[in-house]
Chains A and B, each alone.
Chain A
Amino acid sequence: MSPEMISLILEATLETLAMVAVAAGIGTLLGLPLGVFLATSRRGELFAAPATNGVLGLIVNATRSTPFIILVVAIIPFTRLVAGTSIGTTAAIVPLTVASTPFIARIVEGAIREVDHGLVEAARAMGASPLQIVAKVLVPEARPGIVLGLTLAVVSLLGYSAMVGAVGGGGLGDLGIRYGYQRFMPEVMAAVVLVLIVLVQAVQSGGERLARRLNKRVRQD
């Protein structure tokens, strides 16, 4: 493979990493509170607001059931509003974030629901406010589950990021399609797939190791 090709792959890898990192970062910032709210706002719970919970749940489900490639195209006006343009790597971060936020929210919701209700009762009995219960009990206790879920979200984002080539998003997927497929360069395709496999492996094992370290429910000797 030519040095030019190698530097192209390197550049595409960095683009992918940048898109995924920013989308996962913003997705977590938005998805974490959203997930906490979804988990605690049903009838009789800490922040009981069943109507709002229902509406948010619906929006989350709608976003999650839209195929990513359709979502990318469908929200182009929104993307233009946020990023100033609808093409390019920066613009691609917008649909990636929109797709990852509800995904992360559901993961956080699930992890928080797993927390033993007795702990919430204990915290209430010591006079904790709902926000204290979230900050000191629910999120810390759900942390191993949240970290594992975020790992899953990042892996999915790596896959999604391959599709944003459709809007000039760049990155590894785009490179693979344009060079590997359209220009008949199978070695580029193979290299792209190899890099993606290495990235997914790294994310997965890193996430698992972190989750295991955070999980105090099993003895660690």
Chain B
Amino acid sequence: MDGSSAPVRPAQLAVPGGERPSARAPSSAPAEALLRFRGVAKIFPARKGQAAVTALSDIDLEVPRGAVVGVIGRSGAGKSTLIRLANGLERASAGSVEIAGRDVTALTERGWRDARRSIGMIFQHFNLLSSRSVFDNVALPLEVAGLGRAAIERRVAPLLDLVGLTDKRDRYPVELSGGQKQRVGIARALATEPELLLCDEATSALDPETTASILALLRRVNRELGVTILLITHEIPVIKEVCDRVAVIDQGRIVEQGATFEVFTRPAQATTARFVEAVTRAELSPQLAARLAASGGAGARLVLRIGFSGSAGTAPLVVRLAERFGSAFEVSGGRIDTVGGRPFGSLIALVPADGDLGDLVEEFDLTLEVLGHVA
């Protein structure tokens, strides 16, 4: 124990890993929900010249203690509002929000202030204070909680160690890379030793390699510190990488939720498949788009978007197309992601205008969209 008298729970970080309560509840036993939304709706009231906006409706979502739950949706689907309901930055218009079995829906702002000290949050754009060094950024929530300088020092040092930034403690955010900034954000969010960590598009501003390292860190935070995580994202890899459970949100409603693997591999759920396909939708390159014509002359080729949603492998399809059309077949772009070994996403492909793909569409369960012709 660090002997601080501040209203913060005993330091988990000071305890060696083995003594911590097991972070991950076995998936067979029904784990207690740390966070629960019941029939939650959020309506932004009408303002001058603008109609009321229903951001969320009928949200039922559970975040079991010790789990990592992801909410995936396109921008504007209501993800940001949803995650802000979990720490009272937004208030539900209907339904209830429970944290550790306690109904917090009607909490006052003052009540939320205390509650928020056991909920950490990290952000897409990190939201670090430019006027504070790395150390002082991590120290901020502890200052807010009223800890003394010595207690803060004892708490911040191991956190910087955890996120691998001990040598940057006196640097300012402007001197850090995006990944380092998010590490500071994570250390800051963990400073008050929260049970729950909210991640608001935490990796969306990062390159894939950095994203992977941040996700690995979040995994560690979950496993070693027993912190429950709710994250929102529009990136499938994030969900695949870290989430035990996933909820798919579209137009303010959760269209499906469950164990990550099941949700993405169960083809019966057309909405989810379409959704997943939409997030991995390949777009035309500007160069190709500029050459596109509504109809082509002799020798013109057709530009197609070939969509996969959990259908059979792409490799055999590409081989078959190449065999059939030879050098007239060309792939100009694509975004394919595999979930449970099945491809989700689409290819932008060029094929001869008179080419027939009917049999392949059936065999590989594809969707075809004609984008135009090129000479």
Contact = CB atoms under 8 A, between A and B. Distances in A.
Contacts of B120: 125-126
A125 B113 contact: no
Nearest to B117: A127
Contact of B127 (A122, A127, A214, A216): A122
A216 B136 CA distance: 13
Q: In this complex, which of A122, A126, A143 has the most chain B Cβ atoms within 10 angstroms of its Cβ?
A: A126
Contacts, number: 70
A159 interface: no
A127 B113 contact: yes
B135 to A, nearest CB: 13
Contacts of A127: 112-117, 141, 144-145, 192
A183 interface: no
B155 to A, nearest CB: 14
Q: What size tier do the contact residues of chain A reach?
A: 20 to 34
Interface in A130-149: 132, 136-137, 140-141, 143
A121 B89 contact: yes
Contacts of B115: 127
Interface residues of B, number: 30
Contacts of A194: none
Given A136-B143, A214-B131, A216-B172, A122 B123 contact: yes
Nearest to A144: B131
B119 A125 contact: yes
A126 B141 contact: yes
B113 A140 contact: no
Contacts of B113: 127-129
Contacts of A119: 127, 129
Contacts of B87: 125
A216 B174 contact: yes
B231 to A, nearest CB: 15
A52 B175 CA distance: 41
B174 A116 contact: no
A216 B121 CA distance: 24
Please list the 4 inter-chain residue pairs (A to B) with the smallest Cβ-Cβ separation, ordered nearest first: A122-B127, A126-B141, A127-B116, A125-B121
